Amino acid sequence: MTTALLTHEACLRHVTPRGHPERAARLEAIARALDAPAFAGLMRESAPAGDDALLRLAHPQRHIDRLRASLPAEGFHPLDPDTWLSPGSLQAAQHAAGAQRRAAELVMSGAATNAFLAVRPPGHHAEAERPMGFCLFANAVIAARSAIALGAGRVAIVDFDVHHGNGTQALVWDDPDILFISTHQMPLWPGTGAPDERGAHGNVLNIPLPPGSDGSLMRERAETLILPALDAFRPDLMVISAGFDAHAADPLAGLEWVEDDYAWLTGRLCAAARRLCGGRVISTLEGGYDLDALAGSVAAHVATLMEWSR
């Protein structure tokens, strides 16, 4: 078995204004890191473009149509102060969504044990009809519902981005077949993610972490909260919303994780997936804005996925 890596050059063509933290250089840094000899064993695929039917797993057609109508012929169009469109943005987002479906096919069929999706724009802040926080479409939800359409009975989404995945939470709030678990700094934008936000079926678990805390607190919370919740839910596949902005070097937040923390957490999640669902994991890129920290953390994450795919 193996780890699949899905990406597409179109994801570089989502261009943001000068100085914006969510920029094409993020994927370029990841590509350089994953070109190292240690990653020669990856199953590399070009992500297909997702069509409107795929996007409708998370969003109504009118949301898709509004984004399409808002695309500028040149330059930039602001959707909010953080979230921008350029001429290539929708194509990039369609390939990011298509990567979710293709990864679900690979992992559900057994062609790959797990997968990492180096795609952008990210997705976990996108609500059903509201793009926000750099995000246009809810990639992790599309991955989860693609897997369910392919036969997974239940899917767990584990989000370790430093910002709470408000969009993912809102989209799965009423869905008993999807468990959403999030670790995130609090207080921090977008302001959601309190422990009492539990979902309509008790299918949401929020684990806020105080500013300045390091990986030791995360590890304790993983052992006492995340892993027991996964054991109780018994998913058929796990989706990871893999944000790397809890790193100590990241400019947008204040947690103090390091590369070894990402490797440790990835290993614990993969061990749970092997125990519960045949190792089936889809990991999709969310945040991470210091390029060196992002590249090193993704390398640690993907190396661990590869270890658990053997």
Catalytic residues: 125
Sheet holding 114-117, edge to edge: 43-46, 3-7, 114-117, 281-285, 237-242, 155-159, 178-185, 204-209
Please, what is the angle between helix 139-149 and helix 89-109, to 10°?
40
Residue 267 neighbours by CB distance under 10 Å: 16
d(CA 169, CA 157): 10
Tally of residues, the chain: 310
Tokens representing 181 are: 């678990």
Strands 77-78 and 84-85: antiparallel
**Spatial separation of the C-alpha atoms in residues 97 and 127, rounded to whole Å:** 15
Closest to 167 (Cα-Cα) out of 195, 134, 200 = 134
Residue for token digits 């009492």? 196
Sign of the torsion formed by the C-alpha atoms of 282, 285, 288 and 293: positive
Q: Which residues pair with 283 in a beta bridge?
A: 116, 240
User: For residue 220, what are the contacts with CB-CB under 8 A and spacing of at least 6?
Assistant: none
Contacts of 23 (CB under 8 A, 6+ apart): 16
Contact in structure between 87 and 71 (CB atoms under 8 Å): yes
